[in-house]
Amino acid sequence: MRNHGRVNNSPDRSRLYPRVTSFRFRRGTLTTGQQRNWETLWPVLGRDLEIGPERVPEPQLDLTDLFGRDAPKVLEIGSGTGISTAAMAEAEPDVDVLAVEVYKPGLAQLLGLVDRNGLTNVRLIRGDAAIVLTELIPSSSLTGVRLFFPDPWPKSRHHKRRFVQTGTLELIADRLIPGGVLHIATDHAGYAEWIAEALATQDADRPHVVQLTRESPILLERPTTKFEGRAERDGRYVSEFVYTRPIPPVTSTGDTPTGARHE
């Protein structure tokens, strides 16, 4: 694993995020067990976002009400099959995880993991993570944002579809609390260079993130999935970036985040 410093009032959305999707809709048939999970658990733990040009803006979430408690909140963008999501949620029961994914079988598998492991700190959204960030998530409300192995869109003409852009970094920074952490992992060398460049060229006068150099308020250790193991066997090394929203200087009336734990 390569280490890049990386460890192992709402902004104008039209400026922040280009309206091209950063994901591919993948078709998939649910197994019998996944279909059962979907029918019984999705109405309780999940929600679908509206799609299409006629959709109306989503109402902002009350994250405390969504999870039924006041606890640190982590947004995972692109939870895939949910293996890392469930494992990290189980290891961190005092942290609430909101997983966003478009692949229905992956969400159904995550529902099964949540059910079998008795997890109460995971909620799921099926839809565009850009919409989740721009419309559903309040400013300064997240302790962490995880983006593990996003679609690299390797062809040059598709680079505009990559999720990591100047605008999305600014948007994520705005949604993080001061001291909150952005954790990105990719096994695509070209995308790693793109991410490093985007992080290095942020506007310091706007919401932004800087390299984390202190203890992290959330877990940083990821389980190694079969996908990642195959990538390493194929010679594709994982690059990780761990950045944080700067904490303002302490004033007589200001507070700083507490409860940081060791990486």
Per the CB < 8 A criterion, the answer to whether 139 and 61 are in contact is no
Q: Is 151 annotated as a binding residue?
A: yes
Asked if residue 255 belongs to a known ligand binding site, the reply is no
Regarding beta strands 176-186 and 142-148, do their DSSP bridges make them parallel or antiparallel, or are they unpaired?
parallel
Q: In 3-state terms, the chain is what percent helix, strand and coil (to 5)?
A: 35, 20, 50
Q: Is 39 annotated as a binding residue?
A: no
Does 166 count as an annotated binding residue? no
To the question of whether residue 225 is assigned a binding role by annotation, the answer is yes
Q: Is 29 annotated as a binding residue?
A: no
How far is residue 148 CA from its own chain's centroid?
7
* Residue 187 is labelled as binding a ligand: yes
- Is there a binding annotation on residue 160? no
8 A C-beta contact, residue 148 and residue 223: no
Instruction: Give the pair of three-digit tokens for residue 168.
Output: 């999305």
For the question of residue 12 being annotated catalytic, the response is no
Helix (H) or strand (E) holding 181: strand 176-186
Catalytic position from the list 65, 151, 203, 205: 151
Helix axes 104-116, 32-45, angle to 10 degrees: 80
Local structure of 18: helix, strand or coil: coil
Torsion angle, CA of 5/11/15/18, rounded to 10 degrees?
A: 70
d(CA 136, CA 242): 24
Q: Which residues are annotated as a binding site for S-adenosyl-L-methionine?
A: 76, 101, 128, 151
Q: Which residues are annotated as a binding site?
A: 76, 101, 128, 151, 155, 187, 225-228
Residues catalogued as catalytic: 151
